[in-house]
């Protein structure tokens, strides 16, 4: 706020100075205000025609050496007549003879010419200062490249205070950063025992998990200034700008210590250094990184400035940035668990009016893998749907519809596709849904629909009953079987195949390859991994295995997919009547939930003993 007041004060002073110079020039030269300049001949003509109104004023300006007449003509026009030396007395006599009343005024300049010139010079200098240093040299101007673009927020005045009470679903991460707040509140207690607070904290986690919100909560709890900047804000088209902005940001932060500097998406300036650019020189971002390394742990003291950074790509960061003394601590902000999702929904749901019987815990169970941002978006979509439906409160059906929209896209009921396409889609989705119930290790069936959602003509939705952090080989094998069900059902009852299985083919192939190359779930290769991690090198590296091994991997992937396809064909052949029944009903209803499908087919929650684990 003080900075804004100073800027406003300077602007008003500049305006006042310009206005003073303008009025000084006007007072020094009253002729500037006249409207019509008459010659003596024109004046005599108007005088003869009795168009000159009384009184006429004669002005004497001894400093400027001027004498002139002012007055008003008939019709309201103002006039001024310059008097030539030697003719003044004759003109005055003519006015008296015509009976026109004349007033004589002696004009004295309120400001001397010297003062006027001085004010004009000072005003021009002020305008030049304001233009070049405030506009051209400031932030955003062509000479202000090196200025930091960090937003300096004071949690006491400039922004809504965010505390740990506003952060939900990340209990472990919140506990880890709690001691930073305690240090910012009472730094003497740490120094007394010889303790040193971490200079930097790196928040690592998927997008939308609340890393930025957690940093704001730290500043809000400690009541200290908060510098916020994105990693991309440091770079410009000119080399060296990022390093200059980094130095300027830390210089400002040291003046306001204790404070927090938050850098979002730090991987854009903190990537691993390769040593040489495309033309043999260093990359521009490396200069920014080197400056940051020195500022965080160099020769200059950096007491009271805590750097918090966020990224979802920690594997790309330079090792020098992660060593003790810089980013001493890495805080993992994972996707929320079932308990965390419930807390997040309750936190964001405080502003939403819910109908009686609404169970947020049930929505939390049906949203595994959702981040905090996804859950907030889900509640917002539910509120918008309730408004469109003209409901007085958000009910459970609206919440589930919003969840399905976020997960699989909005229903496209107006998508005009033929009856044959509807039937093909019904057979396809029925094949997936039936196998979802028959195999043993698949996730429970949630809903099946032939109404287009997003880019898909239909969808079979399954949701796990609880958070699953570790998948088994049996699960992957059964999931591959379920993927094959759509194509098999299509071919069995329509005598043809369609492009609707393209996503299924991709998914089953990816599962098989991951089992072989990454998880060591192949009987042929056993406890081996063939997945290559990403490497930040200028030249591509050859694979770490031979062409013969690569060919064997392809054969093993093909075997797993073929066996899953055979099991799916067997299960659908044995339950053909159930498939026909489900497809026929689905064509009529278009959408069925898991309970309706189980009741229709007479299948319970527990799947049959038949499982792809025998593969």
Query: Active-site residues: which are they?
Result: 429
Q: Which of 532, 559, 555, 553 is nearest to 544 (CA)?
A: 532
SS3 306: strand
Task: Report the C-alpha gap between 436 and 478 in whole angstroms.
Answer: 9
If one counts every other C-beta atom within 10 angstroms of the C-beta of residue 154, the result is 16
| List of residues 6+ apart from 591 with CB closer than 8 A | 447, 448, 449, 450, 451
Task: Report the C-alpha gap between 308 and 452 in whole angstroms.
Answer: 44
Q: Report residue 345 as tokens.
A: 């929904």
Q: Report residue 482 as tokens.
A: 């379920």
DSSP per residue, 114-148:
HHHHHHHHHHHHHHHHIIIIIIISSTTSTT-TTS-
| List of residues 6+ apart from 225 with CB closer than 8 A | 152, 153, 154, 155, 219, 253, 256, 259, 260
**What's the gap between Cα 436 and its chain centre?**
39
Q: HEC profile for 338-378? A: HHHHHHHHHHHHHHCCECCCCCHHHHHHCCCCCCHHHHHHH
Contact of 413 with 574, CB cutoff 8 Å: no
Q: Which of 314, 285, 327, 316 is nearest to 197 (CA)?
A: 327
């Amino acid at each position: 706020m003080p900075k804004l007041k100073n800027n406003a004060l300077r602007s008003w002073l500049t305006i006042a100075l310009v206005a003073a110079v303008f009025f000084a020039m006007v007072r020094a030269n009253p002729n500037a205000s006249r409207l019509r300049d008459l010659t003596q001949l024109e004046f005599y003509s108007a005088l003869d025609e009795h168009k000159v109104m009384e009184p006429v004023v004669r002005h004497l300006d001894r400093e400027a050496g001027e004498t002139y007449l002012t007055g008003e003509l008939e019709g309201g026009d103002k006039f001024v007549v310059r008097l030539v030396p030697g003719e003044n007395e004759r003109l005055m006599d003519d006015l008296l003879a015509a009976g026109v009343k004349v007033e004589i005024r002696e004009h004295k300049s309120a400001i001397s010419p010297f003062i006027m010139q001085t004010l004009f010079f000072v005003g021009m200098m002020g305008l030049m200062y304001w233009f070049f240093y405030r506009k051209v040299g400031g932030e955003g101007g062509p000479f202000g490249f090196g200025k930091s673009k960090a937003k300096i927020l004071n949690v006491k005045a400039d922004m809504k205070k965010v505390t740990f009470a506003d952060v939900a679903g990340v209990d472990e991460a919140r506990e880890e950063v709690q001691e930073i707040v305690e240090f910012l509140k009472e730094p003497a207690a740490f120094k007394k025992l010889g303790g040193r607070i971490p200079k930097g904290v790196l928040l690592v986690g998927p997008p939308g998990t609340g890393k930025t919100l957690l940093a704001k909560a730290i500043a809000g709890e400690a009541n200290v200034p908060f510098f916020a900047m994105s990693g991309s804000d440091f770079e410009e088209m000119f080399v060296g700008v990022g390093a200059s902005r980094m130095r300027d940001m830390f210089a400002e932060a040291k003046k306001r210590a204790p404070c927090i500097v938050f850098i979002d998406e730090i991987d854009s300036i903190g990537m691993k250094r390769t040593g040489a650019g495309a033309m043999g020189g260093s990359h521009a971002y490396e200069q920014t990184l080197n400056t940051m390394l020195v500022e965080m742990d160099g020769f200059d003291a950096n007491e009271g400035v805590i750097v918090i950074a966020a990224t979802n790509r920690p594997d790309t960061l330079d090792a020098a940035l992660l060593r003790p003394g810089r980013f001493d601590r890495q805080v993992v902000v994972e996707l929320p668990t079932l308990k965390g999702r419930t807390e997040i929904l309750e936190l964001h749901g405080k502003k939403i009016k819910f109908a009686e019987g609404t169970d947020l815990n049930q929505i939390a169970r049906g949203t595994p893998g959702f981040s905090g941002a996804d859950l907030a978006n889900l509640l917002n979509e539910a509120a918008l749907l309730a408004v469109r439906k003209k409901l007085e409160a958000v009910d459970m059906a609206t919440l589930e519809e919003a969840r399905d929209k976020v997960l699989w896209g909005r229903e496209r009921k107006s998508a005009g596709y033929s009856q044959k396409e509807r039937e093909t889609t019904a057979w396809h989705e029925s094949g997936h849904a039936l196998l979802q119930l028959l195999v043993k290790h698949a996730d429970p069936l949630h809903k099946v629909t032939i109404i287009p959602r997003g880019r898909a003509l239909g969808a079979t939705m399954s949701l796990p009953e609880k958070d699953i952090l570790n998948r088994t080989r049996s699960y992957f094998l059964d999931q591959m079987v379920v993927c094959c069900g759509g194509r098999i059902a299509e071919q069995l009852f329509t005598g043809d195949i369609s492009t609707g299985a393209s996503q299924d083919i991709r998914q089953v192939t990816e599962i098989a390859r991951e089992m072989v190359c990454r998880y060591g779930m192949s009987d042929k290769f056993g406890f081996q991994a063939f997945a290559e991690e990403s490497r930040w090198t200028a030249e591509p590296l050859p694979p770490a295995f031979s062409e013969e091994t690569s060919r064997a991997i392809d054969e093993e992937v093909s075997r797993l997919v073929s066996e899953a396809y055979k099991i799916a064909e067997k299960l659908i052949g044995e339950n053909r009547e159930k498939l026909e029944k489900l497809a026929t009903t689905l064509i009529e209803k278009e959408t069925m939930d898991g309970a309706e499908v189980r009741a229709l087919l007479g299948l319970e929650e527990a799947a049959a003993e038949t499982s792809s684990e025998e593969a």
